[in-house]
Structure 1
Amino acid sequence: MTIATMPQRPVMPTPELGVLMVTGAYYPELSGGGLQCRELVRQLRESARFTILTTTADPTLPALDERDGVPVHRVAVDVSSFLSKIAGAVKVTRVVLSNRHRFSIVHLHGFSQKVILLTLLARLLGKRILLTLQTSAHDEALQIRGRSRLAFWGFSQADLFTGVSLGLQRSYHAAGLQPEKFRLIPNGVDISRFRSPHAAERKALHRRLGLLSDGRIVLFVGFFSKEKCPDRAFEAWASLALTHGAIGPLVFVGATRSRYYEVDPQLVDTVKRRAHDLGLADRVVFVEKTLEIEHYYRAADIFVLPSLREGLPNALIEAMASGIACVASRLDGATDGLIEDGTNGLLVPPGDVAALAVALRFLVDHPDRMVEFGRRARQTIEARFAIGQTAQQYLNAYRTLMGQPTCAV
């Protein structure tokens, strides 16, 4: 007698993940959050179908674009104009409704006024919401609760939260929100793009970038904003540049003139005036924008981050991945999660120019320690902050929201 075999049930394919990625800036605009979003999209575009929705202060950028094979919708908004905000809300609504069949998840990067509108739209359309907290103070749950009931409603409606730092995690828990809805996912970096250079490569970069100096090159990367304190980086550097022959140029890479609300053009005017008065103008370099930031990291010897607040600073992660000795403000739950003071870099009190100058002098006077800090910094990033690890954690978050199996990281 022939035993009939039961027909096997066909293996059903995993439902395609569709994600509407919402961010405050996106390439070619340069911001830490926007660039992190782009890296995630590039890592995960084979596993999920992305649509980008971003607001912009630059009306010259196209409303519909494509980057890395992914559609990018831009809504230009003048934050100083109430009518522009209303028009922007209408355009955001149109983008969401016209693309509603492309996504099942709305991934919000950072909290802003548009999150309230997008949360309402997501709920009406039956979409899942992931909210990533990325900036200290600005994205902290207790701060948002203090703004208004409506703001906290929009914040608390997310189905899942991720935070880039321990500080943001602590703030979330302090607000009494559900602990099981929070995941700590740090920012990540492409460790093949951001890497230590060979000696010959560094010399070639010095020539190419016009940084011809026998002294140690000091690098600052970030907006000219009051919270990032480029003026304090200058004052600390200048106190050594006037007397210490081993200090080379100070290189500022970042927007000094921009429609972006955080940029304060008075800061660059102050730095330029001070540099002129001290006779140091020819030793301070300003790079408004570059699409090859990795070259500046490889050319530099020391990186400074004198910020007063950060979430988990992308610039510091990139600098450490590039094998540079780093000096940063000690920000609880942020920079101290990257730098172990005296082991893979140096931490100084926020706003303390004298302490920053002492740290710079120590690195210049102890080149062996400077190199060792850079080597250990690179090891830290390789072990814990590679973009592949970060991307897999976000993919798991998406799958959790859709009830799909996840993978070990």
Structure 2
Amino acid sequence: MKSLVVSSKYLPEYSGSGLRAHRTYLRLKEKYEIDFQVICSSTASNDSETYEIDGINVQQIVSERSRKLNRKLSSTPLRRFTNAALSHIEARSVTKQISETSFDVIHTFGYSPATIAAVNWSRKHKVPLIMELVNPMPNPYQYLPGSRLYSDQDLNHQSLIVAISQSLGDMCKSHGLIDNVWVRPNPVDTSHFSPPSERTRNDARSTISSATDDEILIVYVAKYIARKNHSFLLEVMAHLPENFRLVLAGPPQTENDTIPGLTAGEIPYLDARAKELGVGDRVEISHGFVDMLEYLSAADVFCFPSAGEAMGTPLIESIATGVPVVANASEPAFREWVIDGENGYLSDLNSERWAEAVINAAKLDADKKAAMSANIKSAISTEVIDGHYNKLLTELAAMRPEQQLNVEQVLSS
């Protein structure tokens, strides 16, 4: 069996869903001989290119000329038209490439001209489809600008929709998509993300920070985009005792990113803000790609003040590693996994109340940390999810166009 993975972004570009897709299919290839290749779009690059990563062929398809024009006109009244034109041009290029590629199943991750083209190709040519919803969205359908009124996209038949949170599952249900929707969070590789030994913890702490043994280390790793809310934690630090230290890390924005955030040259703003708040000596800020496991191994508390998250893989990786989480209470996906007093605390984005939650999270004992890790391993480890993927892919690939997948029946068989 062979899957064509089509993703909004892919490695080496920073992308949580792209990284997850790559690792998932590498495991499926090794365990079940499910082969794959990749077509992707990009937000960080304006170049189309073909390359290999871990022996897997990746084709990145973008329109450099259209993107440069679109950027020039981004602050003018013409931006809606250039945005639409860009989507159609890039989708057409992806469609051409798909037509020249051999595969059994299309598996999309995210929402971009590339994934829109893939979904439309699947529906038009009766090819089995897996659509992975990785961000909050009002509906599961993917249309090119201006095409919705004359397009009828059938997502009920010969398809599987993966909803990585219950809120996304409920959204699908509101659109009449139920039986073929697989509601489950992102899997966690519990062979890596598990409570560290004391030596591993100490080594990690000395690598990522200058925290002493008697300091409580708070960690937050996320790309420096505005909705990730890094600066909020500086305000939280102003309400925490002197023995609390904060480490912020993650990739910066690039010049091609279109959403608000901080580039590498702008990240020093956070250092200046920390000094203004009188916590500069207790805050350490870095940028670039990091080893999430190393940061979680070092942490006493992981904070997640982000907004607009479909799930947030670092949150469940933290729980699997035995690190209590303090997360944004307004996010439905976070409420699915963070249980006050058991594996962390939920708080609204009030810096004083958040500081109280951090103090309480740091007090959770070793037994609770072990229990929270064990719960993740039994429910959503990669071992469990990979087995489910194999069953669903096998069933889906054999389906006729008029058939509908029933996820519950397949997984219970």
- TM-score w.r.t. the length of structure 2 is 0.82
Describe the shift of the 1:75–1:370 C-alpha distance in structure 2 as closer, same or farther (beyond 3 A). Answer: farther
Q: 1:359 to 1:166 in 2, by over 3 A?
A: same
Identity of aligned residues (%): 21
Q: Which residue of 1 aligns with 2:57?
A: 71
* Matching residue of 2:329: 330
Runs of 5+ unmatched residues, structure 2: 72-81, 400-408
**SS class of match (1:316):** helix
- AA aligned to 1:352 is N
**Tell me, what secondary structure is at the counterpart of 2:129?**
strand
1:179-208 Cα offsets, whole Å, 9 max, x none, are 222221321011112222111222222223
Residue 394 of structure 1 deviates from its aligned partner by 2.3
Comparing 48-57 and 258-267, the one that deviates more: 258-267
Residue 112 of structure 2: aligned partner: 112
The answer to whether the aligner puts 1:403 opposite 2:387 as a matched pair is no
Q: Which amino acid aligns with 2:262?
A: P
Whole-angstrom CA distance in 2 between matches of 1:226 and 1:49: 37
Q: Which residue of 1 aligns with 2:95?
A: 93
SS at match of 1:315: helix
Is 1:352 the equivalent of 2:350?
yes
Q: 1:290 to 1:135 in 2, by over 3 A?
A: same
Q: Relative to structure 1, is the Cα distance of residues 238 and 54 closer, same or farther in structure 2, using a 3 angstrom cutoff?
A: farther
Q: Which residue of 2 aligns with 1:12?
A: none
* 2:222 partner letter: G
The structure 1 residue matched to 2:20, chosen from 36, 41, 48, is: 36
The answer as to whether partners of 1:65 and 1:73 remain within 8 angstroms in 2 is: yes
Q: Distance in 1 between matches of 2:140 and 2:57?
A: 35
Larger radius of gyration between Structure 1 and Structure 2 = 1
Going from structure 1 to structure 2, the CA distance change for 1:251 and 1:263 (only over 3 Å counts) comes to farther
**What secondary structure sits across from 1:361 in the alignment?**
helix
Partner amino acid for 1:356? Answer: W
Q: Matched residue of 1:180: which SS?
A: coil
Structure-1 residue corresponding to 2:6: 22
- Selected match of 1:251 from 247, 252, 260: 247
Q: Structure 1 residue 260 and structure 2 residue 244: aligned?
A: no
2:376 maps to 1:381: yes
Query: Would the alpha carbon gap of residues 209 and 129 (structure 1) be closer, same or farther in structure 2, given more than 3 Å must change?
Result: same
User: 1:388/1:360 Cα in 2 relative to 1: closer, same or farther (>3 Å)?
Assistant: same
Tell me how far 1:210 sits from its aligned partner.
4.0
CA distance 1:171–1:72, shift in 2 (3 Å): same
1:117 CA displacement? 2.2
Match of 1:56 in 2: 42
Q: What displacement does 1:223 show?
A: 2.0
> 1:205-264 deviations in whole A, cap 9, x for unaligned?
222334333411111121222322212122112321xxx13212x111212332333451
Question: 3-state SS of the aligned residue for 1:160?
Answer: strand
| Deviation at residue 334 of structure 1 after TM alignment | 1.0
Whole-angstrom distance in 2 between the partners of 1:373 and 1:233: 25
Cα separation, partners in 2 of 1:352 and 1:273, compared to 1, 3 Å: same
Change (3 A) 1:211 1:54: farther
Task: Check 1:222–1:155 CA distance in 2 against 1; reply closer, same or farther (3 A cut).
Answer: farther
Structure 2 distance, partners of 1:292, 1:260, is: 23
Contact preservation (8 Å) 1:89, 1:114: yes
